[in-house]
Structure 1
Amino acid sequence: MLISIAIVILLGLILGSFAKKVHLPPLVGFLCTGILLGPFALDLLSSDLLSISTDLREIALIIILTRAGLSLDLKDLIKVGRPAILMCFLPALIEIIGTVILAPLFLNFSIAESLLLGSIIAAVSPAVIVPRMLKLMEEGLGKNKKIPQILLAGSSVDDVFVLVLFASFLGINQGDKFTVSLLGQIPVAIILGFLGGVLTGIIIVQLFKKMAIRDSLKVLIIMSVSFLLMGVEDQLEGILSFSGMLSVISLSLTIFQFQPPIAQKLAIKFNKLWLAAEIFLFVLVGASVNITFALKAGILPILFILLVTLIRMVGVLLALLKTNLNSKEKLFCMIAYTPKATVQAAIVGIPFALGISNGEMMLTVAVLSILITAPIGAYLIDLSYQKLLTE
């Protein structure tokens, strides 16, 4: 397995650097690395590494969510109000509705399968959005109208909203009946996840105040507690709805509210961790792609992805109606909310692994959505933010 890890890192860095030189996100290079090394191409990855890929992807997700929370000021979100709340669920919900309409036509999916596919591809990517919004905050662009904060918070809660729907729709495709109580689990999971993270964050803040702990050890403590919170979600499954993802980001958000200087130092540490975590996250997703199956699928999945992406942009526009954002700023938000990558990478293999009908097509569509929307979205954000936003 050590040889596989070395190959993943070295080739990932090479192809990631190449992607960056041609103005694409490095994650495109990482995905190509996984496809190239995976069992459907050169088959150079150890089976031991592939067997723990789900756990490694979850660790990477925890790192980027923590990094986002350590830079997010809750006071800014409260000032923004309604649009920030709508961005948390409306674009994703509109995209899922679009998927339910289009997937039966383009992919011959049932309604239940379309709902599941929609919940897989509807989540926006923190891996693409977070670093770019942090850059905007550093440069002061969009600051007056809190545009980076809206997109940061929206993308985080958007992912939680979609993941709770994913769990519900996964159950439906496994034979569970859809009931109103399943929808009721969404606000319960969000509220309990948020409260759990805040309470845990307060305890950690007090610990940091009373004890002299090195920053590196603080990172280990936060990571360990985050693992426990994600584990709590698994332990409570079927008993009580609890969002581990939201608890992780609200934990780090709480640290920022009470101790901003410490949060800023820890954010730098988590940035360094993300350099390695991002490679493994996207390489392992790429390794799961069956190239032959993807080629046989033809052009229809690509057309489907483009159409639902446009539908999602309409959802963003609806969320921003009656705000003080001008047309250029709304256009930027619509562009910035299109990239898919992180959540898809974390959950894309689950339906296929469980033997869900059309699971392999869901995997193919999700990976194509990453390959299409992540580079295009990232490129358009980088190209347009100085033209569409003001200091």
Structure 2
Amino acid sequence: MLLSISLILIVGMSMAWLCQRLRLPGLMGMLATGMILGPYALDLLDADILGISEELRKIALIIILTRAGLGLDLAGLKKTGRPAFLMCFVPASFEVLGVILLGTRFMGLTVLEAAVLGAVLAAVSPAVVVPRMVRLMEEGYGKKEGIPQMILAGASVDDVYVIVLFSTFTGMMQGKGVSAVSFINIPVSILLGIILGLAAGSLLALFFKQVHIRDTSKVLIILSISLFLVAAEDMLATPIRFSSLIAVMFIGIGLQKKRGEAARRISVKYGKLWVAAEIFLFVLVGAAVNTGYLAQAGGRALLVILGALAFRMAGVALCLWGTKLGRRERLFVMLAYTPKATVQAAIGGIPLSMGLACGDTVLTAAVLAIVLTAPLGAFVMDLSYQKLLNRS
């Protein structure tokens, strides 16, 4: 395992540096590292580290979501209001509809099989989007208009909504029917996540005010609580649950509201943690990509993915209807809401493991979506944000 960790860090950093020298996003180098070192190519990564890959990816997501909460401009988020709320479910719904229409026509899927595929493809990747929105807030691009704040809020809820849809559609294919509780759980889990996160952040702010400890110790305390919340959500067997990732982000928001200066210092520490966490996240996502399936993907799957992205961008445009954002700013939001990676890597293989007839097709399309949209979305955002957004 030690050799695998060494390879992930050294090769991942080297490939990221090489891509940056070529004026490409470092993310592309990290994904390529995972695909090359992973089990479907050179197979140089230890089975033990691949076995805990999902947990390591979760830790990386926790780090960047906490950092996002610590730096989120609440005043800017309030300005967006309605669009931020609509971004949580409208673009994903449009994309699922697009996959149903295109998948039944071009891939020969049934409506329910296409709905399962749509639920896998419809999630935006917080692993790709969140770090870039954090950077935009730090540099001041689009911050006055609330653009990165709106995308952050929408992306964090979007995944919860899509995963509930996925569970519902796969349950229907297994003959379990539609559960009203599943759909009720969407707003309830979001609300409970916000409440838990704000409460934890406020209590931590009070604790840090009374007990003077080093910022590094504060980071470890926050990280421990965040890990506990994620584990608690996984262990819950109740029909109604809470969204732990939203809770993690709102810990940072709650702390920021009560102890702004401490939140800024802790955010700097989390930024240093992210340097290593980012490498592990994207290399391990790349390692989950089965390159053998790419040859089987074919033009039809590519056509469905591109068509579904057009539906998604139309959904984003609808969310922004009536806002004061200009054409360039709306274009950036539409482009920033397209990358896929983490959720597709996590759930893309589940229909196949369930024995569903569409399992191979879903996994193939999920892999193709990751390879196509994760580096391309990152590249477009990195290339365009300075040209399309105003700096405050």
TM-score tier, shorter chain, comes to over 0.9
Show the counterpart of 1:250.
250
Q: Which amino acid aligns with 1:142?
A: G
Show the counterpart of 2:358.
358
Unmatched tracts of structure 1, length 5 or more: none
Q: Pairwise mapping of residues 1-391 of structure 1 onto structure 2 (< 5 A)? A: 1-391=1-391
Q: Distance in 2 between matches of 1:238 and 1:176?
A: 17
The structural deviation recorded for 1:42 is 1.4
Q: Distance in 1 between matches of 2:346 and 2:220?
A: 22
Distance 1:303 1:294, change over 3 A: same
SS at match of 1:298: helix
Distance 1:290 1:221, change over 3 A: same
Which shifted more, 223-232 or 98-107? 98-107
Q: Distance in 2 between matches of 1:137 and 1:367?
A: 31
Distance 1:43 1:205, change over 3 A: same
SS at match of 2:45: coil
- Is the 2:95–2:309 contact (alpha carbons within 8 Å) kept by the matching residues of 1? yes
- Is the 1:69–1:252 contact (alpha carbons within 8 Å) kept by the matching residues of 2? yes
Spell out structure 1 runs of 4+ moving beyond 6 A. none
Which shifted more, 120-129 or 189-198? 120-129
Which shifted more, 135-144 or 307-316? 135-144
Deviation per CA, 1:218-261, whole angstroms, max 9, x where unpaired?
11111111111112212223442211111111112111121122
- Is the 1:40–1:290 contact (alpha carbons within 8 Å) kept by the matching residues of 2? yes
Q: Indicate the RMSD between aligned Cα atoms, in angstroms.
A: 2.1
Distance 1:127 1:114, change over 3 A: same
SS at match of 1:240: coil
- Is the 1:102–1:304 contact (alpha carbons within 8 Å) kept by the matching residues of 2? yes
Q: Which amino acid aligns with 1:112?
A: L
Q: Which amino acid aligns with 1:323?
A: T
Distance 1:178 1:146, change over 3 A: same
Q: Which amino acid aligns with 1:136?
A: L
Deviation per CA, 1:171-219, whole angstroms, max 9, x where unpaired?
4444432133321111111111111111122211111111112111111
- Is the 1:332–1:388 contact (alpha carbons within 8 Å) kept by the matching residues of 2? yes
Q: Which amino acid aligns with 1:100?
A: I
Q: Percent identity?
A: 50
- Is the 1:72–1:153 contact (alpha carbons within 8 Å) kept by the matching residues of 2? no
- Is the 2:348–2:362 contact (alpha carbons within 8 Å) kept by the matching residues of 1? yes
Q: Distance in 1 between matches of 2:29 and 2:353?
A: 25
Deviation per CA, 1:65-108, whole angstroms, max 9, x where unpaired?
11211111333322321111111221111112212222233444
- Is the 1:73–1:257 contact (alpha carbons within 8 Å) kept by the matching residues of 2? no
Distance 1:136 1:280, change over 3 A: closer
Which shifted more, 99-108 or 27-36? 99-108
The structural deviation recorded for 1:161 is 2.4
Q: Distance in 2 between matches of 1:279 and 1:352?
A: 28
- Is the 1:73–1:256 contact (alpha carbons within 8 Å) kept by the matching residues of 2? no
The structural deviation recorded for 1:349 is 4.4
The structural deviation recorded for 1:352 is 4.3
Q: Which amino acid aligns with 2:374?
A: A
Q: Which amino acid aligns with 2:209?
A: K
Q: What is the count of residue pairs matched by the alignment?
A: 391
- Is the 1:88–1:158 contact (alpha carbons within 8 Å) kept by the matching residues of 2? yes
- Is the 1:137–1:148 contact (alpha carbons within 8 Å) kept by the matching residues of 2? yes
Which shifted more, 236-245 or 207-216? 236-245
Q: Which amino acid aligns with 1:157?
A: V
Q: Distance in 2 between matches of 1:322 and 1:304?
A: 30
- Is the 1:202–1:255 contact (alpha carbons within 8 Å) kept by the matching residues of 2? yes
Which shifted more, 250-259 or 363-372? 363-372
Q: Distance in 2 between matches of 1:68 and 1:356?
A: 37
The structural deviation recorded for 1:346 is 4.2
Q: Distance in 1 between matches of 2:13 and 2:77?
A: 36
Which shifted more, 61-70 or 342-351? 342-351
Q: Which amino acid aligns with 2:341?
A: A
Distance 1:139 1:3, change over 3 A: closer
SS at match of 1:296: helix
Which shifted more, 130-139 or 216-225? 130-139
Distance 1:266 1:15, change over 3 A: same
- Is the 2:76–2:145 contact (alpha carbons within 8 Å) kept by the matching residues of 1? no
Q: Which amino acid aligns with 1:333?
A: V
Q: Distance in 2 between matches of 1:264 and 1:346?
A: 32
SS at match of 2:124: coil
Q: Which amino acid aligns with 1:264?
A: R
Distance 1:173 1:27, change over 3 A: farther
SS at match of 1:275: helix
Distance 1:274 1:135, change over 3 A: closer
Deviation per CA, 1:318-368, whole angstroms, max 9, x where unpaired?
000011112222112111212222333444444445555433433332232
- Is the 1:16–1:27 contact (alpha carbons within 8 Å) kept by the matching residues of 2? yes
Unmatched tracts of structure 2, length 5 or more: none
Normalised by the size of structure 1, how large is the TM-score? Answer: 0.92
